[in-house]
Every structure is written in structure tokens, then in C-alpha cells.
Amino acid sequence: MNPSGSEAKGKATNTQSQEEGEEEERGSLDSFLKWAAGLGVSDSPNPDSCSCLGHSLGVSYFPDAGGRGLGAVRDITRGELLLKVPKSALITTHSLLNDERLSTALKAYPSLSPAQVDYAIWAAQKALSKAEYEWKEATPLMKELKLKPQFLTFRAWIWATGTISSRTLHIPWDEAGCLCPVGDLFNYAAPGEDLNGFDNVDNLQNGYALDDLDTQHSQRLTDGAFEEDAAAYCFYAKTNYKKGEQVLLSYGTYTNLELLEYYGFLLEDNPNEKVFIPLEPDIHSSSSWPKDSLYIHQNGRPSFALMAALRVWATPPYQRKSIRHRAYSGSQLSQDNEISVMTWIAKKCHATLKAMPTSIEDDNLLLSFTDKIQEFDNLWEWGKVMPAFGGEFCNLLQATNLKRNDESFASRRAKMLIDRWKLAVHWRLIYKKVLVDCISYCTDTINSLSSKNDIIL
């Protein structure tokens, strides 16, 4: 059916507005890169006063890998210096105190700090409560600085603190870190499994020295750091890059939930992902492993600590003292004990999946629907074609105070709403897939152990 005149006019207006917005953004980016060049930021040994990029890096858009980021404009060799940001260009609490008005006001507030499953919901609620508390604490200072009313709102505070926390880099002389112009355009690459974690006890037993592991770990995580000799923050290529490829930076090891909280994105294949399942209280009391070490890896395998804790827990209390050292070394205690542990984990994963309001199939379908939103004129029209998710969709709209006739998909607010919802659905989908993989792993292990037992009999 052909669109009516008013509908066609509305879509044409939206397209024009989008093009104007993109043109304005390009102009702002060019001005920013020229400003940074004036501060001495450069990706070249022979800096250009017109732009700080162009020799090694360029700003590009990677729709399937983090959005806007830095791409290689030529072939880059591992170890090359990619970008240098002088100390004078770094924005820190120290440099901000050069503002006399801000410095004077801060002295009056010395207490201000510089720095979908149950546990995911708790993390979100905790982050929101913390942000609201800090906003109330900082409001008197912001008023004293005579900030405009729009900068005093909680929404503005969320934006500002999110911007700072997601872009801050470590520096040795300021615990709050620094904002690094241009350097914050690098998108994230997970550094790989944590070599110093509980799951590398086997490496230590096989003769690797802890000092060697620390060195490897440091080299793998350090893509950029402040260098005293250069008096600048320097970024190096972690690997070889071909022209046009996105150049990535490791910020450290983060789970997907942590990436969502601090940076606003997640990774489909995150080697540092940790999935937690509900555990009985006596599992914690029967072992000394930290709670955050009892998890399931992205590949569906229980962590070393979780297996050790469950092997002890599945042993009669009067025998635990005598077998604890074997469990903590990573050894199986017996076939029956191992089968009991695997059976318990599989049942717990299955019960967790069953208790969730949506299935993997539901979430896949929902994500496919969100990819088709541009085919509809507004949010409510889109919602009508997905009755299976009507309750969740309506709750989403109500929570964000959208009215029935509000917001076309061209609006920034509507796009942000859908993008955040997609991230939440994507996170819980990855969580469920890990549980399914864990059930498969446990089932395979049980079958293998049972087969060996049959052969012995």
C-alpha cells in the first residue's frame, strides 16, 4: 500500500533531519580533531596542524563492531606507536583545579569522591541508587558553580558520569584517572582469559612460574599507558592490522554485565564472561572460595572454584576435611561424586532457565523484530505486531514515560530506547545460551563417566 501524502512528507522530513544531523556531526568531529592537533595529539611522527589523525588512524563507523571507532588507514605492524597524547592534553582532576572558581568551590565539599536475572537486576538497581546518591551529594556544589538548570537534572548527571566512567584511562598520579582526547575513540577488544585466575592452577602445577604469568598478563593487557619519558599517553598496536580494519584497545577483563554497566555494550563472544547460578548457602559455608569465583564460563564449563566447592559440598560432612586438599588441587574425588556434582549443576541450570519469563526462541524472535523497526512509523504500531511480547513492551514504554502517540523511530529518544532494550534482551539471551551449553557439558560428562563405570563392571 502506498503511503499517504502526509506519511510520505513525514518520512521525507525525517530523512532530511537525519542527513542534517549527520552533516553537523561530521563538522563537529573535524573541529574536535583539529582542536586535538593543536594540543599536540597525533598519530604521526610529523604532526599535522589540521588534524591529529590520518597517518595511521582514521575515524570510521563499524556497525557490527562497536559503532564509531578508529580504523587503520594503512597496514600497521604489531608494536607500532599508534597515537600519542601529551600530558598537557589529558583532562584530570589536577588540571581541572586550574579553574579558580571550581577549585574554590570544591574546597567547601571535601567529602565528594573522585572516583534480568536476580544478580543482573540487583546490579542495575545498585548502579541507579549509587548514581542518585552521588547526584544529591554533588547538587549543592553544582548550584554554587551556577550551572544552568538543564545541567542540574538527574538525567544530565547520568549522562555526565556515564561519559566520564566509560572514557577514563589510568594514570599513576591521579586515582580518578584522566580523559584522553582522541584516545577514547578506540573500541574494546577482550584481552582473553585471566592467566592469574583460579582456572589456571593447572598451569602453575605444570611448571609455569607466577612471575612469568604476571609478565604475560601485563603484556597482554597493556595496549596503552602513560610514559614518563615521552610525557604522553601512548597507544601501541596489539597485533597486525590491514588497511580498513578497526584498531581495538583492551581496557581490561570485564564480564558482559560489567561492560553494559560501565561502557554500554556487550560482546557476543566474551572470553571473560561469567554466568552465575543460584547456590545453596551451605555451599559457600563448606568452602573458602570467594563468591565471585563460583561461576560458569562462556563455553558452558563450570569454573575451577565452582567444581572444587561442589565436590567438597557433595561429600558427607565428616569426610570433607580429609578430601578438601584433593578437591582444591582440581582432582576428581570419585566417579559417584563427579556424577552427583554434574547432575546437580545440570538440574540447577535447567531450573534457572525454566523460571525465566521468556525462552531462547522468544528472545531470538524479539531481536529479529527489533531489527525491523524501521518498517513502522511509531513505537505503538510496531508493538501491535508482536503480541507475544506485549506486556514487556508496554512496561518498557510506561517506564520511560512514552505516550501512545509519542516518538517516531527517527527520534533520538526512541532509538535510544530500542537500543537499550535490545542490549538487555541480548544479554539475557547470551546468559541462557551459556546455561544450555553447561547442561550439555554436564550431560556429556555424566554419560562418559557412566560408560567408564559400565566397562569396569
Question: What amino acid occupies position 352?
Answer: T
How much is the pLDDT for 221?
A: 37
How much is the pLDDT for 72?
A: 92
- What secondary structure, in 3-state letters, does the chain show? CCCCHHHHHHHHHHHHHHHHHHHHHHHHHHHHHHHHHHCCCECCCCCCCCCCCCCCEEEEEECCCCEEEEEECCCECCCCEEEEEEHHHCECHHHHCCCHHHHHHHCCCCCCCCCCCHHHHHHHHHHHHHHHHHHHHHHHHHHHCCCCHHHCCHHHHHHHHHHHHHHEEEECCEEEEEECCCHHHCEECCCCCCCCCHHHHHHHHCCCCHHHHHHHHHHHHCCEEEECCCCEEEEECCCCECCCCECEECCCCCCHHHHHHHHCCCCCCCCCCEECCCCCHHHHHCCCCCHHHCCEECCCCECHHHHHHHHHHCCCHHHHHHHHHHHHCCCCCCHHHHHHHHHHHHHHHHHHHHHCCCCHHHHHHHHHHHCCHHHCCEHHHHHHCCHHHHHHHHHHHHHCCCCCCCCECCCHHHHHHHHHHHHHHHHHHHHHHHHHHHHHHHHHHHHHHHHHHHHHC
Which CATH fold topology does 273-457 show? set domain protein methyltransferase, domain 2 (3.90.1420)
How much is the pLDDT for 400?
A: 61
Domain boundaries, the chain: 5-263, 273-457
For the chain, 457 residues long, give each residue's pLDDT as a single digit of tens: 444 554 455 555 555 555 555 676 777 888 888 999 999 999 988 887 778 898 999 988 887 666 788 999 999 988 889 999 999 988 888 777 777 777 776 666 665 555 467 777 777 778 788 888 888 888 888 888 888 888 888 888 888 887 787 788 888 888 888 888 888 888 888 775 443 343 444 433 333 333 433 343 344 334 788 888 889 999 988 888 999 999 988 877 888 888 888 887 888 888 889 999 888 888 888 888 888 899 999 999 999 999 999 999 998 988 888 888 988 888 888 999 999 999 999 999 999 999 888 889 888 888 887 776 656 666 666 656 555 555 566 666 666 665 545 555 556 666 777 778 888 889 999 999 999 999 999 999 999 888 766 544 4
pLDDT digits (tens, 9 = 90+) for 124-147: 778 788 888 888 888 888 888 888
pLDDT digits (tens, 9 = 90+) for 232-275: 999 988 888 999 999 988 877 888 888 888 887 888 888 889 99
CATH number of the domain at 5-263, please?
3.90.1410.10
Q: With CA atoms as reference, report the closest residue to 223 among 90, 80, 41.
A: 80
